[in-house]
Structure 1
Amino acid sequence: MSQPLAPLSAPEVPLPTRCTSYPPPFDRLVAGRYKRKLGDHFSLKNFGVNLTTLEPGAVSALAHHHTLQDEFIYVLEGHPTLILGGQEHRLEPGDCCGFPAGRGIAAQLVNHSEHPASFLEIGDRTAGDEAVYPHDDLKAIQSSDGGWRFTHKDGRPY
């Protein structure tokens, strides 16, 4: 059995070398998003936790919803805008929102402010999940190892 990792300040968790797993041309749409994968750092297997920072003008992800995985966000700093089912909600520190799987309601965070915004993202890692992107020709399928495979909506690979 391996030794547990010692606690550390969340901003000390290194940023990944790749900022997104989205294929081109979607990868450039999340420029200005910095995601520290806290759950991965501590080898969590059942759920993920990310400390995400959005620079002014940046988006958290393409608008999407999950078929099997629940997601939850908690705003730490700044004033991101949650776009949820086409409605906009300006958030502030302490605000939170949950996104139950299977409801078909797309969500994304956008930083319309002039200052960085940061929040925690928490989600489970249910195998076989699919992320649906209603506004883009993109579909994501989670493999058994936790990675994502991206295809066009008709199934053709990117």
Structure 2
Amino acid sequence: MKTSEPNTLAIRASDAPLRTKPSNYPEPFFSRMAKREKRVLGDLFGLKNFGVNLTRLHPGGESALLHRHSKQDEFVYILEGMPTLVTDVGEKQLEPGMCAGFPAGDVAHQLVNRTETDVVYLEIGDRTPGDEGSYPQDDLQAVMGPNGWVFTHKDGQPY
């Protein structure tokens, strides 16, 4: 059993450090994530089975490319702002207090900030091994390898 000091068991989420690398995507997709900031909360506590991020999208920002996972589920909870949930079956305006869930293999999704104010939300996803990401609007595919995501073109050629 792991024991921790009481003052390391809880933090103010907004005090967590920003993720140093804004995206794992290769260019030309990497630069599309420039208006996104993530605070990787789950890793701070050594969580292994799922990840939790506090994410801020500045005006014009995107949460990710439009994507779906083959094995991993995702969930988002809106804390501030009015993002647009974009899916391959339509769009929906979200507001604080709303949430959305994306079962593995289901609808492709992303959040986009089309407003003039920041959007802040929690994103939670599991870490099922062997996951793959598909991107219906972009020439990109991803496979979760032992050292993280490996991205290729849809024809398998590396970036």
Per-residue deviation, 1:6: 2.9
- CA–CA separation in structure 2 for the residues paired with 1:7 and 1:113: 32
1:99 corresponding residue in structure 2: 102
Paired residue type of 1:100: P
2:114 corresponding residue in structure 1: 112
Summarize the alignment of residues 116-127 of structure 1 with structure 2, pairs less than 5 Å apart.
116-127=118-129
- CA–CA separation in structure 1 for the residues paired with 2:72 and 2:46: 19
Structure 2: tracts of 5 or more residues without a match: none
Q: Which runs of 4+ in 1 moved over 6 A?
A: none
With 147-156 and 53-62 compared, the bigger mean Cα shift is at: 147-156
2:144 corresponding residue in structure 1: 142
Asked if the contact 2:9–2:45 (Cα under 8 Å) also holds between the matched residues in 1, the reply is: no
Paired residue type of 1:111: N
Q: What TM-score results when the alignment is normalised by the length of structure 1?
A: 0.94
Structure 1: tracts of 5 or more residues without a match: none
Q: What TM-score results when the alignment is normalised by the length of structure 2?
A: 0.93
RMSD of aligned Cα (Å):
1.3
Asked if the contact 1:34–1:53 (Cα under 8 Å) also holds between the matched residues in 2, the reply is: yes
Per-residue deviation, 1:41: 1.3
Give % identity: 56
> Could you list the per-position Cα deviations for residues 123-146 of structure 1 after superposition, in whole angstroms to 9, with x for gaps in the alignment?
00001000100111111111235x
Summarize the alignment of residues 32-51 of structure 1 with structure 2, pairs less than 5 Å apart.
32-51=35-54
Paired residue type of 1:137: D
